[in-house]
């Protein structure tokens, strides 16, 4: 973004926009308090429209401080440009908004209107890691640098920043990629909504992307009695219901209800789009210890072995008191022996 022209308007545009574009993820430090706190606060106020002006102001204050202490300075090609602090704040706001846009395009979601509205919003069209986008953006950074080396070898003099054309082309590639992905995503959803699933009408459907291939989607269907994950090919379009995996909704039990009321249960159910909580076998008949697992079916891709990478658990003891809770990454290995995949 800086190379697309903003670095020609003011000095320090690049460093300001880079810091502002990354600053929202300062909320990852909540994970120091534990995996549940990390999930609860990630992509919250720092990722909202309300937070953007403050994030931009904090970044600008940091850049100003570093500049005054001569820890950062305009590069050789930008020394003739003045430092326009008002315009730099505009650049910081724009860069911070780009972070919100990128996060919104993924399936994880973002709470754009916190603290007034805690609803999660997501476009569901690209993966968290999108190789084609990274390739376009990376090329826009590397190619001008490489051409600059060649130019310096042959003695060419250049008075302005390089890479404006490549930067604009890379940003245009991102927009085109989003457009193609959005069109295919809509085709996938239409195809999924047009079917009955084991004789039942879908109450909700969603399609989540695979990396690189814009025609391949991970479909999730919810009916009154079950969830089903299905492969979707948006090129045809085609929903392969015969290859779907059924997740029957378990009956409501005191154990499940207690797990959902736990700290982890409340946080997870607030974030999950297709939450699937189930009671595992009782771990100890004598002490009546129960293990309840949580997973969000939007992340249970067939290649994941039917285990959600962003799932979690609650361990309940006598009188259904919470003994242990957290994300799967914090689950002791001794608990996993009780897990069984859901039946088809």
The CA–CA distances, whole Å, from 223 to 169, 214, 234, 275 equal 44, 26, 22, 13
Report pLDDT for 71.
Answer: 84
The CA–CA distances, whole Å, from 293 to 263, 290, 324 equal 14, 10, 12
- DSSP secondary structure of 174-232: HHHHHHHHHHHHHHHHHHHHT--BTTB--SEEEEEEPSS-TTEEEEEEE-SSEEEEEEE
Angle subtended by helix axes 85-104 and 13-22, to nearest 10: 40
Report pLDDT for 338.
Answer: 46
pLDDT over threshold 90, residue 15: yes
The CA–CA distances, whole Å, from 158 to 76, 151, 223 equal 11, 9, 63
Confidence of residue 340 (pLDDT cuts 50, 70, 90): very low
Confidence of residue 76 (pLDDT cuts 50, 70, 90): low
- DSSP secondary structure of 107-173: SS-B-TTTTT----B----S-SS-HHHHHHHHHHHHHHHHHHHHHHHTT----S-S-HHHHHHHHHH
Confidence of residue 302 (pLDDT cuts 50, 70, 90): confident
Mean pLDDT on 136-155 = 77
pLDDT over threshold 90, residue 49: yes
pLDDT over threshold 50, residue 293: yes
Residue bearing the bigger pLDDT, 106 or 79:
106
Confidence of residue 344 (pLDDT cuts 50, 70, 90): very low
Nearest to 314 by CA among 298, 302, 330: 330
Confidence of residue 163 (pLDDT cuts 50, 70, 90): confident
pLDDT over threshold 60, residue 173: yes
Could you tell me if 56 and 93 are in contact, meaning their C-beta atoms sit under 8 angstroms apart? yes
Whether the bond between 115 and the residue before it is cis, its omega within 30 degrees of 0, is: yes
Mean pLDDT on 307-331 = 85
pLDDT over threshold 90, residue 174: yes
The CA–CA distances, whole Å, from 198 to 223, 224, 246 equal 10, 12, 10
pLDDT (tens digit, 9 = 90+) per residue, 206-216? 999 999 999 99
Nearest to 47 by CA among 113, 108, 93: 113
Mean pLDDT on 123-132 = 94
pTM for the model = 0.88
294 token code pair = 């949580």
Q: SS3 of 235, please?
A: coil
């Amino acid at each position: 973004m800086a190379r697309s022209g903003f670095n020609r308007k003011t000095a320090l545009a690049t460093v300001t926009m880079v810091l502002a574009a990354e600053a929202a993820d300062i909320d990852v430090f909540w994970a120091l308090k534990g995996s549940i706190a990390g999930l609860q606060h990630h992509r919250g106020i720092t990722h909202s429209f309300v937070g953007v002006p403050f994030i931009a102001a904090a970044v600008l204050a940091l850049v100003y401080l570093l500049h005054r202490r001569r820890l950062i300075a305009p590069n050789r090609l930008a020394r003739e440009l003045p430092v326009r602090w008002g315009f730099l704040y505009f650049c910081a706001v724009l860069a911070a908004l780009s972070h919100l846009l990128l996060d919104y395009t993924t399936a994880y979601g973002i709470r754009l209107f916190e603290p007034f509205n805690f609803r999660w919003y997501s476009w569901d069209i690209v993966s968290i890691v999108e190789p084609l986008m990274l390739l376009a953006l990376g090329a826009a950074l590397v190619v001008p640098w490489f051409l600059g080396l060649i130019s310096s070898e042959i003695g060419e003099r250049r008075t302005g920043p390089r890479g404006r054309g490549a930067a604009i082309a890379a940003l245009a590639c991102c927009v085109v990629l989003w457009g193609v992905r959005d069109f295919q995503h809509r085709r996938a959803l239409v195809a999924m909504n047009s079917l009955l699933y084991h004789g039942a009408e879908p109450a909700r459907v969603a399609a989540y992307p695979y990396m690189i291939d814009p025609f391949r989607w991970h479909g999730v269907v919810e009916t009154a009695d079950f969830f089903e994950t299905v492969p979707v090919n948006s090129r045809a379009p085609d929903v392969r219901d015969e290859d779907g995996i059924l997740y029957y909704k378990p009956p409501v039990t005191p154990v499940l209800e207690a797990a959902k009321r736990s700290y982890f249960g409340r946080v997870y159910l607030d974030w999950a789009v297709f939450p699937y909580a189930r009671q595992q076998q009782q771990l100890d008949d004598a002490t009546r210890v129960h293990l309840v697992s949580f997973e969000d079916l939007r992340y249970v891709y067939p290649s994941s072995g039917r285990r959600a990478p962003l799932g979690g658990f609650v361990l309940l003891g006598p009188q259904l008191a919470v003994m242990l809770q957290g994300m799967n990454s914090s689950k002791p290995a001794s608990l996993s022996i009780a897990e069984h995949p859901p039946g088809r």
